[in-house]
Structure 1
Amino acid sequence: MSLIAKRPPLPLAEIETNVWTLPFWQAAARHQFVASRCSDCGTFRMPPTPFCPTCQSQEIDWVKLPGTGSVYSYTIVSRAIFPGMEESLPYVPAIITLDGADGVRLISNVVESAIDAITIDARVSVIWQDLPDGQSLPQFQIISDR
């Protein structure tokens, strides 16, 4: 029987927003997956930043993405780093290369997936973890039918 990747403990899920990241989190609360793209040159920038790294513009469009991607890198957390965390083990922080965003990567988690199915380049799809405060975290699940 394979171990299943669990969701990380909620105390690790504190979301801080600012004027540049708020649209991302507002879309996430509606279970929409978006990324910021420079309105002037078309460069995606995740996380959203005040200035485009290519042309220095501050103009941003929010582009809806398909919510799929591939695992670029990951690690398996199997030891509790604080008391009460044991129920959340193992969990898998991962860097996900996002489809539709020109190679942009997002730090997230792979959840509800067999640990032995998680590999570099594994295909994933977004699933949402709704938080008590009304916000939602995008997390990813392995797509089993390749």
Structure 2
Amino acid sequence: MPETWEPRPVPPANPETERFWSAAADGTLLLRECPDCGLVYHYPSALCPDCFTEAEWREASGDGTVYSFSLLRNHGDWPEDDLPVVFAYVELEEGPRVITNILDCPPQDVEVGMDVTVAFVPTDTEDVAIPVFVPAE
């Protein structure tokens, strides 16, 4: 796993996402859950996308399966040592799908249905870490 995320762009925190990034920096993956309709979702928007109720934070298990993936073999702005990059949709145990990277696995070994677990790559920004996924053991 890379030592830090840089020189890749670090996502900016805003009032709706600040707690998500801060929890990731502490090694916790957070999701949002609606107290009215029960929807568990990700992107960390304050309002439920189904019923517009203010949602609550919920700690995710961090376990999931690869739903879909694609390989990026070269990119002018991406660190060459990190290529190819596996971009994936991971379906979390709680239901939502997240867009992420798969690390610590040869790209040719990634497959749909593969069990994965969350890991966190630190950034130079103290309160931001990037959730990625690695093969489950």
Q: How high is the TM-score relative to the length of structure 2?
A: 0.87
SS at match of 2:64: strand
* 1:76 alignment partner in structure 2: 71
Whether the 8 Å contact between 2:34 and 2:40 is mirrored in structure 1 is yes
Equivalent-residue separation in structure 2 for 1:77 and 1:45 (angstroms): 27
Q: Where do 1:108-127 residues align within 5 Å?
A: 108-127=100-119
One of 56, 61, 64 as aligned partner of 2:52: 56
Contact 2:74 2:83 in 1 (8 A): yes
Show structure 1 runs of 4+ deviating over 6 A. none
Shift of 1:9: 6.2
Q: Cα–Cα, structure 1 residues 136 and 93, in superposed 2: closer, same or farther, change >3 Å?
A: same
The residue aligned with 1:138 is 131
- Report the Cα offset of residue 12 of structure 1: 2.9
Alpha carbons 2:5, 2:121 under 8 Å: kept: no
Aligned in 2, Cα 1:126/1:17: closer, same or farther, shift over 3 Å? same
Residue deviations 1:24-68 (CA, integer Å, cap 9, x gap):
1111111011101112221122102243122121x2211111111
Unpaired runs of at least 5, structure 2: none
1:22 to 14, 18, 27: 18
Superposition TM-score, scaled by structure 1 size: 0.82
Q: Which residue number corresponds to residue 37 of structure 2?
A: 41
Alignment deviations for residues 57-105 of structure 1 (CA, whole Å, 9 cap, x no partner) = 1x221111111101111111111323x7322211111111111x2x201
- After alignment, is 85-94 or 6-15 more displaced? 6-15
Separation of aligned partners in 2, 1:72 and 1:42: 23
Report the identity percentage: 27
* Equivalent pairs, count: 135
- Give the corresponding residue for 1:3: none
Provide the rounded CA distance (Å) in 1 between the counterparts of 2:16 and 2:5: 26
**Deviations 1:11-33, CA, capped at 9 Å, x for gaps:** 33311222222221111111011
Letter in structure 1 aligned against 2:85? Y
